[in-house]
Amino acid sequence: MSDTSAASGSLGPLAQTVIGDSGPTVVFCHGLLGRGRNFTGIAKALQPDFRCVLLDMPDHGASPWTERIDYASASALLVQQLETLATDGPVHLVGHSMGGKTAMTAALETPALVDRLVVVDISPTGAGEVGEFEHLISSLLAIDLDAITSHGQADAELAAAVDSRMLRGFLLQNLRRDPQTHAFGWQPHLEVLLRDLGTITGDVPHEGRTFDGPVLWIAGSESPYVTTAHEGPMRELFPRTVQVTIKGAGHWVHSEQPAAFTATLRHFLRAR
């Protein structure tokens, strides 16, 4: 396993973690408030058949911060990364939620770089989920980082706004302590994420383009993010879409049902 981190003050390459050194390359794009390593378990389960690259998306993890967030800009940074990874041919691209929309945009813009596309629990159209994420980001910003001394204290403070211990753990993975100053800070660019949330939860830009490669569209049975109303727009942009719904999973399908998710992903990526 190896890491390459982007310089924090520039729009350099996205930070990435590579798992495996043989087989076709699979690039993973995480969702809002996540980080590439959220797919570590899935990547390890795909060994030794695939070389997996886990990206920190722009304004998340160790990747650079930007002045504004939109899918055209995020896709441009993703495409820049794909160009360095696709030296032996197009890669498989997997994206969850926000990362799914970024992956869709990249596939529509540069189809030659993408062999197979996997979109996880998101559609190319706005899903009206602004309120949920607005609450989560605002709750993180409400924590007084100067007053806390541990992750446990931050968790206790966040519990008043977020009931789920699992969700709090997911959110607080973004809290980092500076090894020199010992001050806490957020890795994601929370203020800009909150400001541009309407764009993040909006439509994928496509300008009439389509992606004609194979597409796997994975939904969680308990998630509201993929509905029958989204099927038309999805198939219009991605005509070779195959939809699979994983039982017992909500929006974070890969973490809630990892075995079923991995089996579904492996079957699709191996198909010819």
pLDDT in tens, 209-240: 999 999 999 999 999 999 999 999 999 999 99
**Is residue 92 among the annotated active site residues?**
no
Quote the mean pLDDT of the chain: 93
8 or 46: which leads in pLDDT: 46
* pLDDT given at position 10: 45
* pLDDT given at position 11: 66
Active-site residue among 63, 75, 97, 123?
A: 97
**Is residue 251 among the annotated active site residues?**
yes
**Is residue 191 among the annotated active site residues?**
yes
Active-site residue among 83, 132, 191, 236?
A: 191
- Under the banding of pLDDT at 50, 70 and 90, the label for residue 127 is low
**pLDDT(112) > 90:** yes
What gap in Å lies between CA 224 and CA 247, rounded to an integer?
13
Active-site residue among 96, 189, 251, 254?
A: 251
Tens of pLDDT, residues 58-99: 999 999 999 999 999 999 999 999 999 999 999 999 999 999
Domain assignments of the chain as residue spans, ordered by start: 2-127+202-270, 130-195
Q: What CATH architecture does domain 2-127+202-270 belong to?
A: 3-Layer(aba) Sandwich (3.40)
Three-state SS annotation for the chain: CEEECCCCCCCCCCCEEEECCCCCEEEEECCCCCCHHHHHHHHHHCCCCCEEEEECCCCCCCCCCCCCCCHHHHHHHHHHHHHHHCCCCCEEEEEECHHHHHHHHHHHHCHHHEEEEEEECCCCCCCCCHHHHHHHHHHHHCCCCCCCCCHHHHHHHHCCCCCCHHHHHHHHCCEEECCCCCCEEECCCHHHHHHCHHHHCCCCCCCCCCCCCCEEEEEECCCCCCCHHHHHHHHHHCCCEEEEEECCCCCCHHHHCHHHHHHHHHHHHHCC
Q: Give the global pTM.
A: 0.93
What percent of the chain is modeled with pLDDT above 90?
A: 88
**pLDDT(129) > 80:** no
